[in-house]
Chains A and B, each alone.
Chain A
Amino acid sequence: MAVYTLKVNGTNRQVDVDPATPLLWVIREHLHMTGTKYGCGVAMCGACTIHLNGTAVRSCQMPISAIGNREITTIEGLSENGEHPVQKAWLEYDVAQCGYCQTGQIMTASALLKTTPNPTDAQIEAAMSGNICRCGTYLRIKEAIKAAAKK
């Protein structure tokens, strides 16, 4: 066990955990923020996507010992009350079905728009193809990203 100080959603948080613990489980079970989801544990589904210094990463494959002082943003910190343009677009297009993967989708999409404010279809597909939606809402996800890009 070791004590780590993490910068999460703009706040310093201290946890005492095994250094090998993936960030996903630190966020979910030690910091009690459950918007970041467990889907596969092997970085193949994207449900656990968070931002590390603004870049989308799969938190299930990121041991806490490798985080250092990089800034972590989870879905809970993406916006104050869900008013991030991507979240608003998700509501406008009523994207979700079961909803389990959608926080990961939103985190990937919001990171994409930060570096690529007006993405092409091909850029959206390239960025989003690491996130599985078992309900098959991909079309609406794409539409929502395009709508958010215009805002």
Chain B
Amino acid sequence: MEKTPTNHSRRSFLKTSVLAGGGLMISFSWLPKFASAGNAHALDLPELQWNEITGYIKITPDNIIKILNPNPEFGQNVMTSLPMMVAEELDIDWQKVVVEMGPHDNVKLGPQFTGGSNSIRMYWKPLREAGAAARSMLIEAAAQTWGVPAEEITTKEGILYHEKSGKSGTYGSVAAKAASLPIPKGIKLNNAKQFNVVRHSKKNVEGVKIVTGKPLFGMDYTTEGMLIAMIEHPPAFGMKLTSFDATETLKMPGIKDVFRQQLYPDGYEQAGFDTRTFNELLVVVGNTTWEVMNARKKLKVNWEPIADTKEVIAGRGGKKEVVVPAGLESSNVQMAKMIEQAKKPAQQLRKDGDPETAFKNAATIIERTYTAPFLAHNCMEPMNFFAHVTDDQALVIGPHQAPGWIEPTLSKILNLPADKIEIRMARMGGGFGLRAYGHYVTEAALISRKVKAPVKLVYSREDDMTYGIYRPMYTATYRAALDANKNLIAFHVKGGGIPESPIHANRFPAGAVDNYLAESWELPTNITIGAFRAPRSNFNAAAEQSFLDELAEAMGKDPIDFRLELLKRAKENPVGKNNEYDADRYAGVLKLVKEKSGWKNPANNKYSRGVAAYFCHNSYAAHVVDVVKKDGQPYVERVFSAMDCGIVINPDAATNMVQGAVVDGIGNALYGRLSHKDGMAEQNNFTRYRMIRMREAPKKIEVHFVENDIDPTGLGEPPFPPIFGAVANAIYKNTGKRVYNQPYMDALNSTPKAGF
């Protein structure tokens, strides 16, 4: 990830002085005054002469400065925050910056991957270095032009000054020359204490386009002659297409073709993110989305159960064969299997001390089991992708988190070299991990090649929700051994899931307890799973943080003080090796949330308060959740959040992100569930899949960041997991009932309401 501009050869990276704009629609970065004035400025600037200073920065002679955002945007606001990092070092007037989504070009623009709360982390150094290098090149160009020493030139907001001679000029005036200079290395970067752009809130650069409904999303893309394709997938996991009769469908207006399409060829070695649920596709192609949706209803299709299927996965860990089991699975049966499996011996992941003896000698043992169902991502924009594939090239456009991962897959499947595949990244209507999996990109490409036309593949909401790639089902059993004085002497977690285990063996409270054991198991399924906002952590934080709450109560301790004691131990005299977290930073968010929430302040006694904290993606999050009764049900009215993610690039946007994670967490904890009966998803739209709505969201979410100068760590995911635990703990205070199984609403004697 330490790929920086200065590491690239000048030829591949620097090239080119003058580029024509090519009729691109370019938006000005919406300065606050424009934004509040609500002006929609979209400028078509075809004639501009762009001098490429580095791959990320282009400047016209008129001093229009464009910064390319390298990473796919799915709502984490990288379109704004990544260019801010360039601007910080380039020394320009942010209000005049033009921001544009970059092309897919790993050589010029780095890894270009959105996921793992990684965007800011992986671009923190390269983008500031690019800004600093470009500024240095502009200074050098001015020095050569003016015949003065470069050291005597200063800059301010896009203008170069030479005080002695009184000369000054815009960056644009020397941009052509600067573009021909070598990119310098090792430029000193700004001190974190003196940042001018970073750490100062900037509005979303796409704000105006969003609120005026401009075509930003893959779903909005269209081009001359474009057809619409949809896929009729089997009604259940574990089934496949046998035969079909499309006679009636083909008679429907606007329908062009109905055909069978194989996705991956036999023996295809899947890359890690080539996950797909169905390989035999039944495709309907027509002129418009509605016509295709409507015509699908006339299909007569026969499906049959599949047998066990062998798949070859060639991921980073080497090639392995996976058997996908046959069967039409039901959630209640799966849950029973998990509970049964949890009693059997499991794989030991970590052991400190002698937990067996400690449990044998315990005065008290507390044991609790937690479960969670599959979850669907339910991005507001269903999966879709545009493709125009011919015999010798492919153009694909749409919402995807990982262009660098889908490109080799397309190359193999289409048998085209990578340089004949162009991937353009649309703004995504949500991602949450799901759009790291590219099956729908490949499907669109194959369909386009087959029908010899530009095609947009569209998933209906039902297609999207029932397709799979869900958050896995999980369970974990926690055990704690207390001695006669109620001291914690041993801790044991044994967890597993369908089809993956959630357990992070080296995270808190590992390192804080003398005798510790972590064990893990997995059960296979044909229901596909994938990354879902903070994978595994999103269950662990619910289970472990609920358990610690119950443990603190049994030990007669305050839940925050109890955690802080454990963290003190982990810091001063850590147990074992490989403890992943920094005990000080972990304690820091707990102390901050304790202070900001007025944890022990009697003024807050009307609330049932729950606390939880968690570490993931190198960041630390803690929440205090305040519950009251509303309409007879527990309702999260207020939340106080404390985050340590190092330097915060764009504070107001980061606050928005944490607030969103809190709402998302409450919704999934209370209502989230994708269940199956005989292989069929029991929820296929928002009628039956309950999503949190405004009236269920808190009235206030107060977000506080720990202030430090540590390089930025993750933010999109870390605040999400601990909200589950904090909600569970607050529900207990409110109702006297511990909730162990997600979604929590099941235990709250309510008739689950669908929708609103």
**Would you call B522 an interface residue if the criterion is a C-beta within 8 Å of the partner chain's C-beta atoms?**
no
- Residue pair B694, A91 in contact (C-beta under 8 Å): no
Known: A40-B686, A79-B38. Is A87-B222 also a contact (CB below 8 A)?
no
- Residue pair B653, A136 in contact (C-beta under 8 Å): no
Nearest residue (CB) in B for A79 is B38
A81 partner residues in chain B, CB cutoff 8 A: 38-40, 212
- Residue pair A25, B39 in contact (C-beta under 8 Å): no
Docked pose: A133 CA to B62 CA in angstroms: 41
Nearest residue (CB) in A for B207 is A91
B697 partner residues in chain A, CB cutoff 8 A: 136, 138-139
B427 partner residues in chain A, CB cutoff 8 A: 98-99
Docked pose: A74 CA to B213 CA in angstroms: 9
Docked pose: A26 CA to B693 CA in angstroms: 28
Query: Interface SS of chain A: helix, strand, loop or mixed?
Result: loop
Counted as pairs of residues, one from A and one from B, with CB atoms less than 8 Å apart, the total is 211
Docked pose: A103 CA to B208 CA in angstroms: 11
A75 partner residues in chain B, CB cutoff 8 A: 212-213
Q: In chain A between 69 and 118, which residues have their CB closer than 8 angstroms to a CB of chain B?
A: 74-76, 79, 81-84, 87-88, 90-92, 94-103, 106
Known: A76-B212, A96-B204, A97-B75. Is A29-B290 also a contact (CB below 8 A)?
yes
- Residue pair A99, B75 in contact (C-beta under 8 Å): yes
Known: A34-B220, A82-B38. Is A45-B380 also a contact (CB below 8 A)?
yes
- Residue pair B685, A44 in contact (C-beta under 8 Å): yes
- Residue pair A129, B381 in contact (C-beta under 8 Å): no
B38 partner residues in chain A, CB cutoff 8 A: 79, 81-84, 87-88, 91
Binary contact track B425-439/A, C-beta < 8 Å → 1, others 0? 001111110000000
**Would you call A37 an interface residue if the criterion is a C-beta within 8 Å of the partner chain's C-beta atoms?**
yes
Partner of B380, one of A20, A132, A140: A132
Shortest distance between the CB of A32 and any CB in chain B (Å): 7
**Would you call A21 an interface residue if the criterion is a C-beta within 8 Å of the partner chain's C-beta atoms?**
yes
A130 partner residues in chain B, CB cutoff 8 A: 693, 756
Docked pose: A74 CA to B212 CA in angstroms: 10
A132 partner residues in chain B, CB cutoff 8 A: 380, 686, 691, 693
- Residue pair A141, B694 in contact (C-beta under 8 Å): yes
Nearest residue (CB) in B for A44 is B686
B432 partner residues in chain A, CB cutoff 8 A: 134
Docked pose: A91 CA to B209 CA in angstroms: 10
- Residue pair A82, B461 in contact (C-beta under 8 Å): no
Nearest residue (CB) in A for B228 is A29
Docked pose: A3 CA to B348 CA in angstroms: 69
- Residue pair A97, B694 in contact (C-beta under 8 Å): no
Nearest residue (CB) in B for A85 is B38
Shortest distance between the CB of B625 and any CB in chain A (Å): 15
Known: A38-B289, A42-B686, A128-B694. Is A91-B211 also a contact (CB below 8 A)?
yes
- Residue pair A133, B380 in contact (C-beta under 8 Å): yes
Known: A32-B222, A79-B38, A139-B698. Is A40-B461 also a contact (CB below 8 A)?
yes
- Residue pair A98, B289 in contact (C-beta under 8 Å): no
**Would you call B262 an interface residue if the criterion is a C-beta within 8 Å of the partner chain's C-beta atoms?**
no
**Nearest 9 Cβ contacts at the A-B interface:** A35-B213, A136-B663, A100-B429, A98-B75, A75-B213, A97-B75, A34-B220, A44-B686, A136-B660
